[in-house]
Chain A
Amino acid sequence: MKSYVLYPGCVMPTEQYAYEMSIREVLPLLEIKLVDLKDFSCCGEPIKSVNQMLSLALSARNIALAEKEGLDIFAPCPMCHLALSESKRILDSDPAMNEKINKFLADEGLTYMGKSVIVNTLDLLHDIVGVENIKKLAKKPLNELKVATHYGCHLIRPSEIGRPDDSENPQKMEKILEAIGAKPLDYPEKLDCCGGLLTANLPESALTKTGQKLQKVQEQGFDAFIDTCPWCHRQYDSKQTKAGETVAAKLEVPVFYLTQLLGLSFGISSDKLGLDLNLSPVDKLNLGGK
């Protein structure tokens, strides 16, 4: 059993409960223990446009909190994962910035040490647990379910900061999904953005981006759309109907968190995976009973 501090961020613990529930159900089965800590704040990435220094400092503060426990950090949200990773990269390579930030952290009795490794859901599942171990637990294989994967921009770009998967040809989600019997297929729009970050100032445009991609996915006849990002999921699942309106289409694409689908294949009840919180028509696939 390897332990990680769970860094929840903002979007997941304030509204995307299905992601959190499925993570808390699935990971312990894969010998990953999650440790909850108090006092975390926003990673800073959503307000990077307003003040980059503020996001750097917020990320450093969160890392420092986890480092007090001497554990590595698990950030399920790709945006948080990018913010923490970028902050770590800057603080590890720029001594002057490191000193500045540590001065700021000292007010709360915190220190950034740079010892904790920061991982995302994909790192945990693919690299640390491994596809073979996932396969072993898959009791109810997803019979050839034709799925489209959506990695989310922050999970794969910019590769210079060290992302969990390849920027142009990410395959880890595919490997995991294959291990539980699903059939992920490539599609031209795979690397496109959900638009979610525009929600703050241009919500209509954000929804249009969402609608455009989902429409293409629907046209190509996929059974389901799989993501791992609470921002993206909010766009594709929670706001699917509205997104459809922007492109004048009735969208009916079942959208799942990767961890929900894993849970279903492990035989975990859909209740515990928060499946009734998905607003997209996930019922139509008849996966796992209550």
Chain B
Amino acid sequence: MSNKIGFFVCHCGINISSTVDIKELMEYAKTLDGVVISKDYKYMCSDVGANLIKDSIKKHNLDSVVIACCSPRMHEHTFRGVVEAGGVNAFNLEIANIREQCSWAHENKNLATEKAKALVRGAVAKAKLLESLETSKIKVTPKALVIGGGIAGIQAALDIAEEGHKVYLVEKSPSIGGRMAQLDKTFPTLDCSSCILTPKMMEVANHPNIELLSYSEVIGIEGSIGNYNVKVKKKARFVDMDKCTGCGDCMVACRLKDRISSEFDEGIGKRSAIYMPFPQAVPLKCTIDAENCLLLTRGKCGTGPLCVEACDADAIDFKQKDEEVELNVGVIVVATGYDLLDPTSLHEYGYSRSDDVITTLEMERLISSSGPTTGEIIRPSNGEKPKSITYVLCVGSRDETECTWCCRIGCMSALKHVYLLKEKLGEDIEINICYTDIRSFGKGYEEFYRKIRGMKTNFFRGRPSEVRKSGDHLTIDIFDTTTNKLFEIKTDLVVLAPALVSRADATDFTRILRISQSIDGFFLEAHPKLRPIDTFTGGVFIAGCCQSPKDIQDSVAQASGAAARAANILSKKELEAEPLISYVDEDLCSGCSTCLSVCAYNAIELVKDGDKSQAKVNEALCMGCGLCVVTCPSGAMQQHGYKDKQLRPMIEETV
């Protein structure tokens, strides 16, 4: 019980004071039972404000504090420190949110002031009943999990490993490398993508602190910050990793050689049923595709599997089964990347009507010297060299019917292609770019755009309505708003720059990770400006395109940021745990187990006590979400800091 409460109200510049009458609120607070002082300051979160609180605590011997200010999400943590420094237990603090829940939401000053009074009245009523609480310590497992082996995941894994922590890198496909491995060159510097990526992939493979789990998927996560227990499924490769030398003889021998569409080559190239996605794959091991392999799908492969015959190392093992492993880690970095929007949804652009309508990523595979055409640019329909190539930008991007956001890479990758295509096909190759706005925002991007403008490129400022097949070629009507004329473009190859979208399994994955998605489907950061790498789940960080579309530069920067945030936790032996968690009133608990079924963190178990069983909260796992408290039919579940007996008077006073 508290008898001496200090009341402090913040003006928040004019954010609060323009709508709430601060003076009136202060005078009102003085009249409330238990309040011994009432003070205001322009910015209570500043040093001056903090000192005002600390000094007042000492001078008036306060035993609890009520602050009327912004949302506790903003500064509760700050003010707890202040109160503690003043000599009062950090949890003897109650915040009345008179900014987000009052001044920002209302216009009428009189009514807003009345509402602020009600909020303060409630806060004071609760403050009288607050109890001192002690934080407990959690031991940190000094290991990290990185999910996704694209450039963001690779960078994060290397950075954490360099800090001296053990890292598990889980990659879904047979090799790490991700989207960047599919690219020929990178904008705006035209670095060879493989040349700068492969060394990093090798570093991952050889780093003593990194354990790579390729062809594996995270299927379950339990625990919380500092101690996550992760279930990973290692999919059967049907190839013994220790024996396989990566020689590729099996790929050549396979009966389905050049028969299966290659994911890595975006369907433009073909592969065998036993395959390595690309020559620089890490790990450099073969994988049998169980969905296509004749022996695995039909039980029979001619007179016998040719891969087995071809393999001198005796590495093929059709008896292999999926394996489940458990990993214990303290933090998780999610870097699962993006998908391209399937342009068939914009049927008017002819992607499903003509083989000569391709995506920018397919063009990357055509340009790449290690691609299916060894870098020769051809029309997929007939294998001939195109004389005219037309780019359509913003396909499904900035589109209220598809993806509302900008893909952030479409313009620049098209400009990059112009350079590479002119290099390969000669400067006379006709290249048309239909754009809405060229967005060249990064360092050196605008300069690169200028360079391409000087390369005889036909820029049309407008968006085609349709791509039509007419005879052997394609035609596009484009209204060019720079000349106010409609042009008919006859072209051989159309390249669409589709929107970037979240991974098809992103929603399932958020359930496993217990993180959120923003409305666009990408993973949601804790704060768009100030916590762009954190999620709302402690110890889980996001990097790269799984958070939002971005280029390689930004992905790498964010990945290093995520690694730093992760290492920050791993470098501590212990973390402080919030004491605002649930506990069971044993006299009331009937052991009905309703609470168990609602707990998302598996933090409650049923303990037998003689012939009676009762719920018990695992303090290390409880996140203090309060779901069990509101679900409990008998009121046995309570939460520290939010007990029924503390909340009831608060509600009664407020309403």
Residue of A nearest to B353 (CB): A186
| Most-contacted residue by chain B among A168, A188, A189 (CB, 10 A) | A188
CB pair A169–B468 under 8 Å, yes or no, is: no
Q: Which of B346, B347, B469 contacts A188 (CB 8 A)?
A: B469
Instruction: Report A198 CB to chain B, min CB distance, Å.
Output: 19
Determine the chain B residues whose CB is within 8 A of the CB of A166 once the complex forms: 347
| Most-contacted residue by chain B among A166, A168, A189 (CB, 10 A) | A168
Distance between Cα atoms of A169 and B351 in the complex (Å): 12
Query: Is B518's beta carbon under 8 Å from chain A?
Result: no
Of the four ranges (under 10, 10 to 19, 20 to 34, 35 or more), the interface on chain B belongs to under 10
* Complex interface residues of chain B between 437 and 476 (CB less than 8 A to chain A): 468-470, 475
Instruction: Report A252 CB to chain B, min CB distance, Å.
Output: 22
CB pair B469–A169 under 8 Å, yes or no, is: no
Distance between Cα atoms of A189 and B353 in the complex (Å): 13
Instruction: Report A267 CB to chain B, min CB distance, Å.
Output: 36
Residue of B nearest to A188 (CB): B468
CB pair A188–B348 under 8 Å, yes or no, is: no
Instruction: Give the number of chain A interface residues (Cβ < 8 Å).
Output: 6
Determine the chain B residues whose CB is within 8 A of the CB of A186 once the complex forms: 353
Interface string of B469-498 (1 = CB under 8 A from A): 110000100000000000000000000000
Distance between Cα atoms of A168 and B343 in the complex (Å): 13
| Most-contacted residue by chain A among B346, B347, B475 (CB, 10 A) | B347
Residue of A nearest to B475 (CB): A188
Instruction: Report B329 CB to chain A, min CB distance, Å.
Output: 47
Determine the chain B residues whose CB is within 8 A of the CB of A168 once the complex forms: 346-348
Interface string of A160-182 (1 = CB under 8 A from B): 00000010110000000000000
Residue of B nearest to A189 (CB): B468
Instruction: Report B489 CB to chain A, min CB distance, Å.
Output: 14
Determine the chain A residues whose CB is within 8 A of the CB of B353 once the complex forms: 186
CB pair B347–A169 under 8 Å, yes or no, is: yes
Interface string of B326-355 (1 = CB under 8 A from A): 000000000000000000001110000100
Residue of A nearest to B345 (CB): A168
Determine the chain A residues whose CB is within 8 A of the CB of B468 once the complex forms: 188-189
Determine the chain A residues whose CB is within 8 A of the CB of B469 once the complex forms: 188
Distance between Cα atoms of A7 and B353 in the complex (Å): 37
Distance between Cα atoms of A50 and B373 in the complex (Å): 59
Determine the chain A residues whose CB is within 8 A of the CB of B346 once the complex forms: 168
Determine the chain B residues whose CB is within 8 A of the CB of A169 once the complex forms: 347
Instruction: Report A200 CB to chain B, min CB distance, Å.
Output: 25
Residue of A nearest to B349 (CB): A168
Distance between Cα atoms of A281 and B531 in the complex (Å): 72
Distance between Cα atoms of A116 and B353 in the complex (Å): 38
Distance between Cα atoms of A87 and B348 in the complex (Å): 28
Distance between Cα atoms of A186 and B470 in the complex (Å): 12
Interface string of A108-152 (1 = CB under 8 A from B): 000000000000000000000000000000000000000000000
Distance between Cα atoms of A168 and B401 in the complex (Å): 14
Determine the chain B residues whose CB is within 8 A of the CB of A189 once the complex forms: 468
Distance between Cα atoms of A188 and B346 in the complex (Å): 15
Distance between Cα atoms of A188 and B468 in the complex (Å): 6
Distance between Cα atoms of A21 and B100 in the complex (Å): 68
Instruction: Report A209 CB to chain B, min CB distance, Å.
Output: 15
Distance between Cα atoms of A166 and B347 in the complex (Å): 10
Distance between Cα atoms of A266 and B469 in the complex (Å): 35
Instruction: Report B61 CB to chain A, min CB distance, Å.
Output: 63
Distance between Cα atoms of A71 and B469 in the complex (Å): 44
Determine the chain B residues whose CB is within 8 A of the CB of A188 once the complex forms: 468-470, 475
* Complex interface residues of chain B between 161 and 214 (CB less than 8 A to chain A): none
Determine the chain A residues whose CB is within 8 A of the CB of B347 once the complex forms: 166, 168-169
| Seed contacts A168-B348, A169-B347, A188-B475; 8 additional CB < 8 Å A-B pairs | A166-B347, A168-B346, A168-B347, A186-B353, A188-B468, A188-B469, A188-B470, A189-B468
**A–B pairs, 11, beta carbons within 8 Å:** A166-B347, A168-B346, A168-B347, A168-B348, A169-B347, A186-B353, A188-B468, A188-B469, A188-B470, A188-B475, A189-B468
Closest 8 CB pairs of A and B: A168-B347, A188-B468, A169-B347, A168-B348, A188-B470, A188-B469, A186-B353, A168-B346
